[in-house]
Structure 1
Amino acid sequence: MRRNAAGWSNWSGSVKATPREVLLPASIEEVVGAVRRCKQEGRRLRVVGSGHSFTAIAASDDMLISLDLLQGIVEVDPEGGTATVWAGTKLKRLGEELFVHGLAQENLGDIDVQSIAGAISTGTHGTGRGLGTISTQIAGVTVVTGQGEVLTCTVESHPQWFKAMQVSLGALGIIVQVTLRLRPAYKLEYVSSRMPLKQCLQESVRLAEENRHFEFYWFPYAEPCQIKLMNETDSPVVVRKVRDYLGDVVVENAVFGLLSGICRRMPSTSAAISRLSASQVPVGRKVQYSHKLFATARLVRFNEMEYNLPAEAMVPVIEEMRETMARMKFHVHFPVECRYVQGDDIWLSPSYGRDSAYIAVHMYKGMPYEAYFAAMEEIFLRYGGRPHWGKLHTLSGGRLKERYPRWDDFRSVRAELDPDRILLNPYIEKLLDT
């Protein structure tokens, strides 16, 4: 077990901590040892993946555990369509290693730097009206509980605990291995186009129903938005390495980064730069294997708030957001990301019990976001919104309990698996204990 003590911050720089101790266990036994030591010494610990959550969910001033040394595939069952993987495995690496075995995950989000454990613990999702969050792909999970015991759960062996662990916020134990339901590797055709926002909203239900994946990006103060569609295909892979690099990396990151810097120095230019960005939305088509197509490079850093809403709320919420932005004239140029996700029965999943719309708002790093996010959050909450666990929001225990029918059931499982409450930090206490 390598040990390191240094300051820590998340990807956006919005959260900083100075852990007393940072551990990188290289085996389940070393994870058990760390938990038992915390239990004996009355200490607290948190686990960090890639630090891509915008909240303080992983921050610790005591013990911080990274699973970066626990990566890769443990075993594969091609006939059963499952694979057991180490919890610290980054999604990009996971896709590549599964592909070697002819397998793939059925859906992913648009960033692939997270660890698989971090992704499921926070309810990370992609888009697709008939597809659930990444947590719905779990067939089994092995955790080291707050008592230092190794426990493997499936829906058959521990139905209650399993439902709690599918989205656990890292509050029930340290996930060390995950068994995933998989499918044969497949190709997707990706099409990007422009569409006026008014038309997009009119056709959003149809586009969501007729395409495996549909999402749109609306640029504040602009009429054109970007439409992204992906569907399965047997067409040959279309590879344009130079052209795709220029579009995906240079234009979407370097150029947008320069424009963002202008907005930070001169906030009054935000609306104009948003309109400029909307006018330059890429139009084109790609065909590639799924694990290479879902994610895009995100080099321009920002802060983000994302809320889950009933699917039918997508259009009225966007319309109200647009009216509020026009009235309050926020200095924002980052697009609003809009996606659909199938409902599920996972206790702390924001998609619990309802087919969902997800709407995410962003602000460039270093620009004030509080007033903008607060105004958007007020709209989201009026429509029954539930916050994404890895994104910024203002809710705590009492208000969250109102939005999750199985809230108390989750807390009961937590009392069983972490009775000494060592898997805590102030942020988790605010969520679960206030």
Structure 2
Amino acid sequence: MTQPDFQTLVPRRQFIAQGAAATLGGLLLSHGLLDEAQAATPATAPAAGSLQWHNWSGVQRATPAALPTPANEAELQALMASAQGEVRAFGSGHSFTALVPTSGTIVSLDKLSGLISVDKQAMTATIHGGTRLGVLSRALDAQGLALRNLPDVDVQTIAGAISTGTHGTGIDLPALHADIVGMRIVTPGGKVIELHEDQNRAMLAAARVSLGSFGVISQVTMRVLPAYNLHRKVWLRPIEQLLQQAPQLAQQHRNFEMYYLPFTGYGAAISHDLYTGTDLMLPKPSDDAVMDDLRKLRDWLGRFPQLRQWAAQKFIDPNMTDEARHRAYRLLSSVRPIKFNESEWHVPREQGIACLRQIIAAIEKHNEAFFPIEFRFIKSDYAWLSPFHGRDSCSIAVHAAADEPWDYLVKDCAPIYRAHSGRPHWGKLHEMGFKELSAMYPRWADFQTMRKQFDPQGHMLNAHLRKLFVQA
């Protein structure tokens, strides 16, 4: 086994004393390494001629009959009118659940991208459905505008992000779909249905989080804000201290989140607040080698968890901090190419800390764990299948390296989440089906009725969605 280059790492990370666990603090300070991963368009055509598709992590795969990439809404209409059998759409392939795989048609939204228009009087923007959040953020910034919040990576398309309930963090900030005021959907058969919250409130409440089951979203119109800067701060504390302080910290800061690094006893707190000064400074670039070295430390001491924690606590400097000040979209989202699989649930806010304690205990029964456990705050909304429907929530996410087993993330953690009235993230690994999910959502039956109006023949359902939406 190759020894990690700590002598090289330490000079780049000035926050922790030199030693075998220096990489741990470096990891926590590098916000990019604490975030989700960068996605990539996962479509290829192998030499044999058969089409293949896989998501970003590789956990979901398919061999579709067709992989079209319509260039505009008219081409999408023609495609939907002529497609036979199942039809699924994908944007960045960032979901870990089997939302996309089908042997029928998989539609790429790559060419349906870009900012269409802005209305600065109404403070809204109209956007092609395949526009990735990073592209959208830069286009809005050029107009002096910004999204209210962002998730911690920005490679997802706007259509995919809202369809799965993608969110950032902030006690007064809802998920992205809550800002949608209008939408155009191309349904099976090629019909375009346009929705607006003033005329189609119920339909839009159903369509905001639909898992792509109504049709393909070609355009959205959403609320925007004047462009703004944020001040970000990252600091380390013993996890017990952060567990006690987290609710208060969430109240104090515009955006607050925290991460627990298994087998260290330490967590990282990250806050963002509005900044009106002119002294701008981007965060330090992430160091991909840090996660590799963290895995090596796990490999060396994984059979000795107490020694592993001793090593971490001996060398971590709990007084270190890291700060940055810049445009909001430059700080809220970041890039991390290290691949993993993830399971995430959302529990009522008042149960968040208690649930997190139990999740930490469950994860630390597995010596192979080394990815941070993520904890965030989300405001309620009223989209029918929003995981935050009718209740302020906390999200708890657990991860495993893409080349390592991940089933324990689901099997060990799901009973804990369910005991705390949790709802699974639609794009993250879970094993829930119709029976369990129908009991979690007050408007479940209404959603199913609405879905059948958009797609009466069920062309937008694959095996995974039939498990979710069709009663056995």
Given candidates 37, 40, 50, the residue that maps to 2:82 is 37
The share of aligned pairs that are identical, in percent, is 34
How do residues 296-375 of structure 1 correspond to structure 2 at under 5 angstroms? 296-326=334-364, 328-375=365-412
Change in Cα spacing, 1:304 to 1:378, as seen in structure 2 (3 Å) is: same
The count of residues paired between Structure 1 and Structure 2 equals: 422
**1:175 aligned residue:** 217
* Shift, 1:260, TM fit: 2.8
Cα distance between partner residues in 1 of 2:305 and 2:337: 19
* Shift, 1:316, TM fit: 0.9
Cα distance between partner residues in 1 of 2:289 and 2:74: 44
* Shift, 1:59, TM fit: 1.6
**1:389 aligned residue:** 426
User: Is 2:304 the partner of 1:257?
Assistant: no
Secondary structure (helix, strand or coil) at the match of 2:220 reads strand
* Shift, 1:272, TM fit: 6.5
Instruction: Report if the CA contact (8 A) 2:129-2:159 is conserved.
Output: yes
Secondary structure (helix, strand or coil) at the match of 1:169 reads coil
Secondary structure (helix, strand or coil) at the match of 2:130 reads coil
Secondary structure (helix, strand or coil) at the match of 1:255 reads helix
Secondary structure (helix, strand or coil) at the match of 2:178 reads helix
Change in Cα spacing, 1:198 to 1:410, as seen in structure 2 (3 Å) is: same
How do residues 139-178 of structure 1 correspond to structure 2 at under 5 angstroms? 139-178=181-220
Instruction: Report if the CA contact (8 A) 2:410-2:431 is conserved.
Output: no
How do residues 4-15 of structure 1 correspond to structure 2 at under 5 angstroms? 6-15=51-60
Cα distance between partner residues in 2 of 1:349 and 1:264: 39
Cα distance between partner residues in 1 of 2:307 and 2:60: 30
1:199-238 Cα deviation digits (max 9, x unpaired): 1111111111111000000112222100000000102242
**1:290 aligned residue:** 328
Secondary structure (helix, strand or coil) at the match of 2:412 reads helix
Change in Cα spacing, 1:55 to 1:237, as seen in structure 2 (3 Å) is: farther
With the length of structure 2 as denominator, give the TM-score of the two structures: 0.85
Instruction: Report if the CA contact (8 A) 1:304-1:392 is conserved.
Output: yes
Cα distance between partner residues in 2 of 1:262 and 1:6: 40
User: Is 2:207 the partner of 1:207?
Assistant: no
1:399-426 Cα deviation digits (max 9, x unpaired): 0000001011110011100011111210
Cα distance between partner residues in 1 of 2:114 and 2:296: 38
* Shift, 1:258, TM fit: 4.2
**1:49 aligned residue:** 91
What are structure 1's unaligned runs of at least 5 residues? none
Instruction: Report if the CA contact (8 A) 2:344-2:429 is conserved.
Output: yes
Instruction: Report if the CA contact (8 A) 1:262-1:269 is conserved.
Output: no
**2:40 aligned residue:** none
Given candidates 436, 439, 442, the residue that maps to 1:399 is 436
Secondary structure (helix, strand or coil) at the match of 2:344 reads strand
Instruction: Report if the CA contact (8 A) 1:264-1:367 is conserved.
Output: no
Change in Cα spacing, 1:114 to 1:338, as seen in structure 2 (3 Å) is: same
Given candidates 121, 127, 130, the residue that maps to 1:88 is 130
Secondary structure (helix, strand or coil) at the match of 1:68 reads coil
Change in Cα spacing, 1:204 to 1:163, as seen in structure 2 (3 Å) is: same
With the length of structure 1 as denominator, give the TM-score of the two structures: 0.92
Secondary structure (helix, strand or coil) at the match of 2:467 reads helix
* Shift, 1:63, TM fit: 0.5
Cα distance between partner residues in 2 of 1:296 and 1:279: 24
* Shift, 1:271, TM fit: 7.8
Cα distance between partner residues in 2 of 1:419 and 1:231: 46
CA RMSD of aligned residues (A): 2.2
Change in Cα spacing, 1:90 to 1:271, as seen in structure 2 (3 Å) is: farther
Cα distance between partner residues in 2 of 1:366 and 1:16: 15
User: Is 2:237 the partner of 1:195?
Assistant: yes
**1:26 aligned residue:** 71
1:369-413 Cα deviation digits (max 9, x unpaired): 212431111100101000000000010111000000101111001
Cα distance between partner residues in 2 of 1:334 and 1:215: 16
User: Is 2:448 the partner of 1:414?
Assistant: no
